[in-house]
Structures are given as structure tokens and as C-alpha cells.
């Protein structure tokens, strides 16, 4: 990352679209000069390695065979080439080639001729009443357009019904490579060997539920082929202990960031507790909560480490309360506002005050977003804050995002990434679009797609924990984009650790915070 001190050892993995991958293919072949058949051979070699690995572990007798179902595009050519390599390893193969062979690509036609020399027949249909140890899907690649219907849908249903271990080449047939949508029907793989770069659809829902384990096969298409046009999306892999590297051993509570959190209400004291505790666990040195006086006692009992500043009621802030809050700009390094504050008069006053008077890196979440979405004047104040060059992060879930964009939730859910990106482009700030997959977007930056975490994290208070974590990184001096990416990753990794340590089916938000206690090298 180029945004300050950020997880240097963690691995950045690009997630490409169909058009991006086609462009990189073309550059590699036509400009760099690596022949397309060479790339096909390399791809097939990687697929063959995975098939052999599973064949050797699953093999029961000499008659166990591998079924490879191919189309007439280059994805099919990869499958045909794999069949030949398996035959060289004395593995019994059954090859099925669907589609108009006269319309096959030149590379695929070449592979058919080679198989003829090997005396391996390309059948026109899957043999009935026969089981296979492994089933390889090389029917369609990333270029599939339109839903799969008719005989092709029947073929995929046949493949899914077979009992063998299932491997997809590049992407399971029927999964939209860009959006992860299911195009009528799709091959259900145990494993996908994706070629050169990982495709977005392998990690977006529901496509990721059809992909199984994703193996990235490097075949010689490298970043040289980007020609300074990087893929628009990436993800991160690595142990999150690396997120804490670089802390000064000589530091103190003042040097590790002071975070101001405006959170909680009489009915939702827990939001303030969760955000504050998460901020501490994410390495923040000091946290001060701005809360209603009515919940002071419960906060002090549950979170004695925090400093507290209170206001009296929900009918609006007094001038003295406003002045006391303004003074916090001298103390704080960053501010978070929104978890559990509701949308009453005092909450609106707080949001306005933060946007106009506290010139600090700012994260707006939950009810702060609801206030912004309802009041044009407050939205205008947000825009002015961003135009002043102040770091701003918004962390909406898809419902909140739909209200901010003033479109139906169905429109947002249909394309979560584009909706998040649109909001970021409109504002110029950082937008964290929260869903089963979370997106971090900022104008003119690559999108970070979080690909870890789990469904048990879909629990009340999980968002409050994320808010505290990102706020902690803002307070520690990271730019907004880097703080958001780092926070989202840490939150998800802690959730995965919490899942490993959970006895039951569910988690509570506190478990995610506790997940940070089980940091392992």
C-alpha cells in the first residue's frame, strides 16, 4: 500500500474482470510475445498438477478415471490439453467436447488434433451410468454471455450429479466472472484452478459458494501486461499480527492515538461500550466517549478505561455542552460518531458540530449516516468538510447506503460494489460498503474487497466493533483509506478466530473483540 505504515508483509492479490483479463492476455501474446499455445500449455500443466494431487489421494483401483468436459473456447482447450498430460501420467481419461467444433478457437482445434494423435476420442456426451473419480469443468470460461439453458444446462446438471471430486478450470461454468451471479445454473466445484489472476466472481456471492477452494495458477501473465493500468480491485491475504508491526517500543498512551467516540443512548449503551473496547484492542492509546449522562454509570462499570464527557438530554445540546465538545479538538487525534445515538435533536446537533467545528479525521457510522441521508443541510456540511481536505470515512451497510444514494435497496444489492464506488465518487471521501463481502472505495483508488470473515459475524453490534477498530487506526495517524482497509481486514480476521474458538453456531460482538486476544504468529 502507498498510504502510510501498512501491513508490509501482507500479500496483495488482484481480482480482475473479464475485460481486464482479456486485455492482459492480449498484451502478453501480441506485445510481449508469449504465444497463446504456450500460455495454454502452462495453464493445463497447473490444472494437471491439481488433478494428479487429488487422483493419487483418492485412487482406489486402476480403473478409476477422470472426466474432462470441454467447450470449444480456450477454456475447453485448457481441458483438452490437461487430458493429454494426464494420459502421459497413465491416468485414464474420458474427454467430452460440446459445441460446434468448426467454431472452436484455433488453439482448441490444435489440441483436438493432438488428442487424435494420442488416440483419445472426444465424445459428444457424458457416458451414462458411469461414475468418475474426478470431474473437470472446462466447458465455459470467463467470456460466457447470457444464461445457460437447454442442453448446456442439462450437461451441467449431469456434472453436478456425479459423485467425483469436482475441479473447475478458471471459473465454474455458469458463474459470472465479474459479479458472481449465477447465470441460470452453474457447476458446483470443490476447487477452482483460476488462471493468471483471480476473478472477482470467485469471491462475490453467490459465485463464491460454487467455487470451492480457489487455487491461483501463475502461467506467465504478469504485472508487465498491466501497462500501468492496474486492476480496479484487490484483496489481502496474511496473518493480521502484521497489522501491528512498526509500533514504537518507546511509545506511550499518548503516542498511540487519542480517539473521541460519540456513541450510545439510553436504549443503546452497548454501542458505545463495543466501539470503545474495540478501539483499545486495536491498539489505540486513549479513548474518550461522548455519551448521554443517563448511561454514564453503566459505561464506567463495563469500560473503566475510558474517559467520559456527557451531555444531559435528547432535546438538544446546550451552548455549554457544545463548547465543551469543541474543546476536544485540542485533545483528540480522530473522531468517530454514530453508533447507537439515534436521530433526535441532540444527535443532530452532535453531527453538525462534528462536521463544522471539529477539524479531525472523522468516521461516520450508523445513525450519523441516517441523519445525513435525511437532512440536506447536514449532507452539505459533510461535503464541505471533505472539500476542506479533511479525512472522512463513511461505513454504511447496504440499507444505509441505499438511503444515502436515495435509491431502492434492491438497486444497491444488485451491484454492491458499484453502489459503494458511486457513493465514494460522489463524496470524494472513503466509503466502506458493508455486506457479506465488504468494499472499501475512494475516488481514484483501487477497491479493496474483503474476502475473509464469516457468516457468524452477522450479529448485533458487529458494526460497532468495526467502527472502533477503524477509528483506532485513524487516531494512530493512518490516512482514511489505509485505516479503513486495515480495520476491515482486522475485524474479519478476528471474526474468523472467534469462529474457531466458538462452541455454538452463533457469535456476539464481544466475541469478535475477544478474537483479537488470540493473535497467533
Give the CATH number, domain containing residue 24. 3.40.50.10260
Structural domain boundaries enclosing 473: 256-391+459-518
Residues 136 and 285 in one domain: no
Alpha-carbon gap, residue 369 to 366, rounded angstroms? 5
**pLDDT-derived band of residue 241, with 50, 70 and 90 as boundaries?**
low
CA–chain centroid gap for 459, Å, is: 18
Residues 62 and 182 in one domain: yes
**Does residue 1 have a pLDDT over 50?**
no
CA–chain centroid gap for 126, Å, is: 37
Looking at every residue in the chain, the average pLDDT score rounds to: 95
Helix, strand, or coil (residue 138):
strand
Alpha-carbon gap, residue 156 to 4, rounded angstroms? 48
Residues 334 and 222 in one domain: no
Residues 497 and 376 in one domain: yes
Confidence (pLDDT) at 345: 96
Confidence (pLDDT) at 240: 67
Confidence (pLDDT) at 520: 53
Percent of the residues in the chain that have a pLDDT greater than 90, as a whole number: 91
DSSP bridge partners of 290: 262, 309
Q: Which three cell numbers stand for residue 252?
A: 506511550
Residues 189 and 260 in one domain: no
Last residue of some domain: 231, 264, 279? 231
Closest CA to 191 of 169, 167, 226, 208: 167
Residues 337 and 297 in one domain: yes
Q: Which three cell numbers stand for residue 59?
A: 485412487
Alpha-carbon gap, residue 352 to 215, rounded angstroms? 49
Strands 447-450 and 438-442, sheet pairing: antiparallel
Mean pLDDT over residues 144-158, rounded? 96
- Phi and psi for 198 in degrees, rounded to 5? -70, 140
Residues 123 and 27 in one domain: yes
Alpha-carbon gap, residue 397 to 468, rounded angstroms? 16
Block residue for cell numbers 483528540 = 332
Residue 399 placed within a domain: no
CA–chain centroid gap for 221, Å, is: 23
**Does residue 505 have a pLDDT over 70?**
yes
Residue 70 placed within a domain: yes
Confidence (pLDDT) at 4: 41
Confidence (pLDDT) at 41: 98
Domain count, the chain: 2
Residue 437 placed within a domain: no
Residues 346 and 481 in one domain: yes
Closest CA to 307 of 296, 318, 317: 296
Q: What is the pLDDT of residues 263-315, one digit of tens each?
A: 999 999 999 999 999 999 999 999 999 999 999 999 999 999 999 999 998 89
Q: Are 365 and 335 in contact (CB under 8 A)?
A: no
Residue 184 placed within a domain: yes
Query: H/E/C letters for each residue in 52-114?
Result: HHHHHHHCCCCCCCEEEEECCCHHHHHHHHHHHHHHHCCCCEEEEECCCHHHCCHHHHHHHHH
- Higher per-residue confidence, 73 vs 250: 73
Residues 334 and 216 in one domain: no
Instruction: Indicate whether this model's pTM tops 0.85.
Output: yes
**Which residue intervals of 212-314 are DSSP H helices?**
269-281, 296-302
Residue 249 placed within a domain: no
Residue 438 placed within a domain: no
Residues 224 and 159 in one domain: yes
Q: What is the CATH number of the domain that holds 387?
A: 3.40.1190.20
Which contiguous run of DSSP H or E holds residue 335? Answer: strand 334-337
DSSP letter at 175 equals B
Last residue of some domain: 198, 231, 264? 231
Confidence (pLDDT) at 17: 97
**pLDDT-derived band of residue 319, with 50, 70 and 90 as boundaries?**
very high
Q: What is the pLDDT of residues 9-60, one digit of tens each?
A: 678 999 999 999 999 999 999 999 999 999 999 999 999 999 999 999 999 9
Residue 410 placed within a domain: no
Q: What is the pLDDT of residues 217-237, one digit of tens each?
A: 999 999 999 998 999 999 998
Amino acid at each position: 500500500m502507498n498510504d502510510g505504515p501498512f501491513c508490509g508483509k501482507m500479500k496483495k492479490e488482484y481480482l480482475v474482470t473479464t475485460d481486464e483479463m482479456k486485455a492482459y492476455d492480449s498484451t502478453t501474446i501480441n506485445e510481449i510475445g508469449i504465444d497463446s499455445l504456450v500460455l495454454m500449455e502452462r495453464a493445463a500443466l497447473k490444472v494437471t498438477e491439481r488433478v494428479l494431487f487429488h487422483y493419487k489421494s483418492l485412487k482406489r483401483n486402476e480403473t478409476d478415471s477422470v472426466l474432462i468436459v470441454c467447450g470449444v473456447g480456450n477454456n475447453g482447450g485448457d481441458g483438452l490439453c490437461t487430458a493429454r498430460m494426464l494420459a502421459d501420467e497413465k491416468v485414464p481419461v474420458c474427454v467430452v467436447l460440446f459445441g460446434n467444433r468448426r467454431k472452436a478457437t484455433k488453439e482448441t482445434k490444435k489440441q483436438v488434433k493432438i488428442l487424435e494423435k494420442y488416440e483419445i476420442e472426444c465424445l459428444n456426451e457424458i457416458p451414462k451410468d458411469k461414475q468418475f473419480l474426478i470431474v473437470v469443468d472446462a466447458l465455459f470460461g470467463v467470456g460466457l454471455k447470457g444464461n445457460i439453458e437447454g442442453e448446456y444446462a442439462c450437461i451441467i446438471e449431469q456434472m453436478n450429479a456425479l459423485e467425483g471430486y469436482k475441479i473447475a478450470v478458471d471459473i465454474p461454468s455458469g458463474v459470472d466472472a465479474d459479479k458472481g451471479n449465477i447465470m441460470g445454473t452453474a457447476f458446483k466445484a470443490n476447487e477452482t484452478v483460476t488462471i493468471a489472476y483471480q476473478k472477482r466472481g470467485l469471491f462475490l456471492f453467490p459465485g463464491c459458494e460454487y467455487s470451492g477452494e480457489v487455487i491461483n495458477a501463475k502461467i506467465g501473465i504478469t504485472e508487465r501486461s498491466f501497462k500501468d493500468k492496474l486492476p480496479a480491485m484487490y484483496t489481502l491475504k496474511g496473518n493480521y499480527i502484521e497489522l501491528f508491526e512498526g509500533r514504537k517500543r518507546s511509545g506511550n498512551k499518548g503516542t498511540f492515538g487519542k480517539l473521541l467516540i460519540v456513541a450510545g443512548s439510553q436504549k443503546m449503551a452497548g454501542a458505545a461500550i463495543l466501539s470503545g473496547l474495540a478501539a483499545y484492542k486495536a491498539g489505540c492509546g486513549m479513548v474518550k466517549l461522548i455519551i448521554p449522562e443517563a448511561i454514564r454509570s453503566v459505561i464506567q462499570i463495563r469500560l473503566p478505561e475510558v474517559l467520559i464527557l456527557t451531555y444531559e438530554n435528547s432535546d438538544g445540546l446546550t451552548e455549554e455542552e457544545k463548547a465543551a465538545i469543541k474543546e476536544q479538538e485540542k485533545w483528540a487525534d480522530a473522531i468517530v460518531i454514530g453508533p447507537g445515538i439515534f436521530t433526535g435533536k441532540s444527535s443532530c446537533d452532535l453531527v453538525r458540530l462534528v462536521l463544522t467545528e471539529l477539524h479531525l479525521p472523522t468516521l461516520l457510522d450508523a445513525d450519523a449516516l441516517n441523519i445525513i441521508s435525511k437532512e440536506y443541510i447536514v449532507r452539505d456540511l459533510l461535503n464541505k468538510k471533505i472539500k476542506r481536505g479533511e479525512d472522512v470515512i463513511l461505513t454504511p451497510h447496504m440499507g444505509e447506503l441505499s438511503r444515502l444514494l436515495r435509491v431502492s435497496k434492491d438497486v444497491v444489492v444488485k451491484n454492491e460494489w458499484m453502489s459503494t464506488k458511486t457513493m465514494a465518487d460522489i463524496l470524494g471521501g472513503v466509503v466502506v460498503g458493508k455486506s457479506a463481502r465488504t468494499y472499501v472505495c475512494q475516488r481514484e483508488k483501487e477497491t479493496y474487497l474483503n474476502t475473509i470473515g464469516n457468516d457468524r459475524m452477522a450479529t448485533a453490534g458487529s458494526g460497532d466493533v468495526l467502527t472502533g477498530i477503524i477509528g483506532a487506526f485513524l487516531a494512530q495517524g493512518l490516512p482514511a483509506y489505509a485505516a479503513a482497509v486495515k480495520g476491515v481486514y482486522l475485524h474479519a480476521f478476528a471474526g474468523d478466530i472467534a469462529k474457531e474458538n466458538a462452541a455454538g453456531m452463533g457469535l456476539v460482538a464481544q466475541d469478535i473483540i475477544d478474537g483479537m486476544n488470540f493473535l497467533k504468529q
